[in-house]
Amino acid sequence: MKPQESTLADDFDDPLTTIEGEEEAREEDLWFLPGPLDEEPDDLPPGPRAEPPDTAVIEDWAKAEGIHAARLARVAGRLGALDDRLLRGPEGWRHRLALIEAADLSWFAGDRVGSDRLALWVSMRLTGAQDDPNALARVGCAVRRLTGGPGPKDDLAAFLDRRDPENIEDSAERLKDRAGGWLEVMTASTDLHPITRACMGFHLWSLAGLGQHGDQIESADTASRIAASDGSGAIFAPLAMGGAGGLRVSGSPAERLARWLDGMNSAILTAMRTLDDIEAWTGRAENVMAQLSGRTPVALRETFSQWPLVSAPMAEAVTGASRAAVQRNLTWLEASGLIREVTGQGRYRMWCIAD
């Protein structure tokens, strides 16, 4: 019995081992495992950051709109006055302004198509030996977009008259794919004023890959239609009349919007002065031509109110009158001081209204 008693006594005298102590001992034995995560040095390079969504840019333009709220209100008021005047005026006024705007945009884009060449191309598809047919076609399409038809928000492909061929390769990017991001941003920015949305859309155009061979006319046409989308008389908002400084691409959204508003304000004032001149000339022409009979004088008067420059063949095509009647009335109008010849040559002569 003594050995058993000795064993029990030894067990009783050993110090008790706690549960915590046992766990610590076990963890110390696991020397081959990595330490806690917070103790490991962070030697890995930073991972890729998530790209912000395309619509994140709207916030910058909303801030720019708030900065220039007073200036925006003034320009919007002038555009509203132009819209009301065109709503009450004849259809030819819109056509005349569209021709002037398209010609000025062509100089901004580098095509440099004069009003006389543009008038001949739009009315009769005539070109000269020094004319670039591709440039005339581009500016002629601009006139079409500025005078009517579906707007960019209805069908962008139809507005631009750009259709992907049915047999396009799978690897080629379609217009609707390229325009997807741009349309998404424009749709999400409906809380912005149309003028601000137009400015934003113009400056995002090239970033969205919608430019074609460096063409800038399409983006300006699209923006001008968006800016006037709330109106019913003005189909487009003038941007380039009297200078295209507002279309310069540089600076922050606030700086770009400031130039845009100044340029649009100048262009609208130029358009209003043009309508003043046309309205005054029309009233004077009606009084002077009251003694004339027939439909040709009235048709010629309407033609000169619609077109900045008119040639004899062009007047013949637009009015439907005979060449003799057109020549006779043009001679009479020039002698009466209502129109003046601007080319100074014997052939291919063109006339405009006399101030």
Q: Is residue 256 part of a domain?
A: yes
In the 8-state DSSP scheme, what is residue 290? Answer: G
Same domain, 187 and 302: no
**pLDDT tens per residue across span 75-110:** 999 999 999 999 999 989 999 999 999 999 999 888
Please say if the pLDDT value at position 352 is more than 90.
yes
Percent over 70 (pLDDT), the chain = 80
Same domain, 193 and 320: no
Same domain, 137 and 268: yes
Please say if the pLDDT value at position 30 is more than 70.
no
Same domain, 191 and 313: no
Angle between helices 91-109 and 133-147 (to 10 degrees): 140
Q: Is residue 5 part of a domain?
A: no
**pLDDT tens per residue across span 245-297:** 899 989 999 999 999 999 999 999 999 999 999 999 999 999 999 999 899 99
CATH of the domain at 310: 1.10.10.10
Same domain, 234 and 92: yes
Q: Is residue 312 part of a domain?
A: yes
* Amino acid identity at 220: A
pLDDT on residue 8 = 45
Q: Is residue 3 part of a domain?
A: no
Same domain, 198 and 346: no
Q: Is residue 35 part of a domain?
A: no
Q: What is the mean pLDDT of residues 228-250?
A: 91
Predicted confidence band of residue 42 (pLDDT cuts 50, 70, 90) = low
211/272: higher pLDDT: 272
> 339 lies in which domain range?
292-353
* Total domain count, the chain: 2
pLDDT on residue 174 = 67
| Euclidean distance between CA atoms 42 and 83, whole angstroms | 64
Q: Is residue 12 part of a domain?
A: no
- How much is the pTM? 0.80
| Euclidean distance between CA atoms 195 and 253, whole angstroms | 13
Same domain, 189 and 309: no
pLDDT on residue 1 = 47
Same domain, 107 and 236: yes
- pLDDT winner (highest mean) among 4-8, 89-93, 176-180: 89-93
